[in-house]
């Protein structure tokens, strides 16, 4: 039986959906193998649920059809898990249905995540023909030894092949996901990964620092000393190396962990960082619409049974102010102080003068052209800076 608490929202005087843009996220929770570091909602050896899951996903999208009226979907992101693990007919079914139901902008950015080894020429050709114009490939490292150490089942050669296939099938916007701070990864290893990634000429590179999450197999390995990740100082040095090398190769850092060639920033992720509206479909998917957050159940079985939109939380003014600060200061351009003043009726600089003076003197923040942004030094300790500003 389907459960939802949207009834109370729909009864409000103000409509949930207003005349503005929206982004769409679809979660595909299936993987060929679970990586040692992964704590996402994804499962291996559950392929027998794929067809039922896609039917449930598209049924959920159908349920939002009326509420999507008056909206324009600017970005679509199909993530996981491993979306490209789905058979070609199911991927085609999803993409056809999105176009049938969602009011897509003419130049909508449509991204799909792919793991090397799960893409074929036939599959990528179909994806491009169905409108996918951005491919995000989970490379993670460009050394087979490091890939094996984190439970990845692809090789560096398969990463290179995936990029080449994407290009040959007409996908002109490719991202490579890389990871900093892998077990037994040295600074030299990281530089080799950067060089190999740059050689593939992707339009975008994401360089995320590995977080060893409690409850994962990697956490247990680290706890008992079986593997050793780089320490904090080594990780920071790798981050600095990424900034310098990618900049010299033409990639501008526009967010703590993201670098892009000109005009190739990920528009979908910018929606999150700028607190735009997004609708998440599928198990464990999160949404925020008109400052109301809600989510779907993490459990695959609960989702298949029809549970939707749980834990609905309207955000207070204070929560919105905090989120604006936390998310916008991840961006290199920082927080727009004029926009902050318009939305909250408060001058951020005036209400944080003493703290800002201290942080300015420490070289952690700057204010320029009505934007508050963290310096490179400040971005390295973003959490500590935020603690100061939120206090």
The tens digit of pLDDT for each residue in 323-374 reads 999 999 999 999 999 999 999 999 999 999 999 999 999 999 999 999 999 9
Rounded to the nearest 10°, the torsion over CA 218, 223, 224, 226 is: 40
pLDDT at position 6 is 30
Spatial distance between the Cα atoms of 348 and 346, rounded to a whole number of angstroms: 6
pLDDT in tens, 209-261: 999 999 999 999 999 999 999 999 999 999 999 999 999 999 999 999 999 99
pLDDT at position 17 is 40
What architecture is the 7-273 domain classified under in CATH?
Answer: Alpha-Beta Barrel (3.20)
Q: How confident is the model at residue 14 (pLDDT cuts 50, 70, 90)?
A: very low
The CATH number of domain 316-391 is 3.80.30.20: no
Say how far residue 328 (Cα) sits from the centre of its chain.
15
- In degrees, rounded to 5, the angle at the alpha carbon of residue 215 between the alpha carbons of residues 212 and 218 is 45
3-state class (DSSP) for residue 51 = helix
Token representation of residue 334: 């920082």
Tokens 């036939």 appear where?
122
* 12 pLDDT above the threshold of 70: no
Spatial distance between the Cα atoms of 145 and 381, rounded to a whole number of angstroms: 30
Give the closest residue to 385 by CA, choosing from 364, 358, 362. Answer: 364
pTM for this model (two decimals): 0.93
Domain extent listing, the chain: 7-273, 316-391
Strand pairing report for 21-28 and 72-80:
parallel
**E-state strands within 128-203:** 134-140, 174-180
Say yes or no: do domains 7-273 and 316-391 share a fold: no
């Amino acid at each position: 039986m389907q459960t939802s608490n949207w009834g109370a929202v729909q009864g409000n005087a103000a409509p949930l959906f207003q005349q503005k843009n929206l982004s769409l996220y679809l979660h595909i929770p299936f993987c060929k193998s679970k990586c040692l570091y992964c704590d996402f909602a994804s499962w291996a050896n559950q392929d027998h649920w794929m067809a039922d899951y896609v039917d449930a996903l598209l049924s959920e999208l159908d349920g939002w059809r009326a509420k999507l009226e008056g909206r324009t979907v600017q970005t679509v992101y199909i993530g996981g898990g491993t979306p490209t693990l789905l058979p070609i007919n199911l991927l085609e079914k999803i993409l056809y249905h999105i176009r049938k139901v969602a009011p897509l902008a003419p130049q909508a950015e449509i991204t799909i995540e792919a793991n090397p080894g799960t893409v074929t020429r036939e599959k990528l050709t179909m994806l491009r023909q169905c409108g996918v114009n951005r491919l995000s490939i989970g490379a993670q490292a460009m050394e087979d030894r490091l890939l094996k150490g984190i439970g990845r089942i692809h090789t560096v050669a398969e990463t290179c092949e995936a990029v080449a296939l994407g290009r040959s099938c007409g996908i002109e916007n490719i991202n490579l996901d890389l990871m900093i701070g892998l077990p037994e990864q040295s600074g030299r290893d990281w530089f080799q990964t950067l060089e190999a990634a740059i050689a593939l000429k992707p339009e975008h590179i994401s360089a995320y620092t590995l977080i060893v999450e409690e409850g994962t197999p990697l956490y247990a390995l680290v706890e008992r000393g079986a593997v050793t990740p780089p320490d904090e100082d080594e990780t920071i040095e790798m981050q600095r190396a990424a900034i310098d090398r990618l900049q010299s190769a033409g990639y501008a850092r526009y967010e703590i962990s993201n670098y892009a060639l000109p005009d190739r920033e990920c528009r979908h992720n910018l929606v999150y960082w700028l607190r735009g509206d997004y609708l998440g479909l599928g198990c464990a998917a999160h949404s925020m619409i008109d400052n109301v957050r809600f989510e779907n159940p993490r459990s695959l079985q609960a989702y298949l049974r029809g549970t939707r939109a749980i834990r609905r939380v309207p955000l207070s003014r204070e929560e919105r102010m905090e989120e604006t600060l936390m998310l916008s200061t991840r961006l290199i351009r920082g927080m727009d102080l004029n926009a902050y003043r318009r939305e909250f009726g408060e001058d951020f600089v005036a209400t944080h003068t003493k703290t800002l003076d201290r942080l300015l003197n420490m070289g952690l923040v700057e204010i320029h052209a009505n934007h508050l942004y963290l310096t490179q030094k400040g971005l390295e300790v973003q959490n500590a800076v935020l603690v100061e500003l939120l206090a």
